[in-house]
Amino acid sequence: MIREIIMELTPLFTTFGLIALAELGDKTQLTVIALSARYDRKKVFAGVVLAFIAVTGLGVLSGRTITMIPEKYYQNNCGSCVHYFRDHDAGIQRRL
> In this predicted structure, what is the pLDDT of residue 94?
55
Tell me the per-residue pLDDT of 39-88, one tens digit each, with 9 for 90 and over: 999 999 999 999 989 988 998 888 888 778 777 776 667 777 777 777 76
> In this predicted structure, what is the pLDDT of residue 50?
96
Tallying the residues shown for the chain, one arrives at: 96
> In this predicted structure, what is the pLDDT of residue 53?
93
Residue 38 has pLDDT above 80, yes or no: yes
Q: Which residue has the higher pLDDT, 89 or 58?
A: 58
> In this predicted structure, what is the pLDDT of residue 24?
78
* Cβ atoms of residues 66 and 74 within 8 Å: yes
Q: Tell me the C-alpha distance between 92 and 85, whole Å.
A: 10
> In this predicted structure, what is the pLDDT of residue 67?
78
Query: Among residues 28, 21, 70, 63, which one has the least CA distance to residue 45?
Result: 28
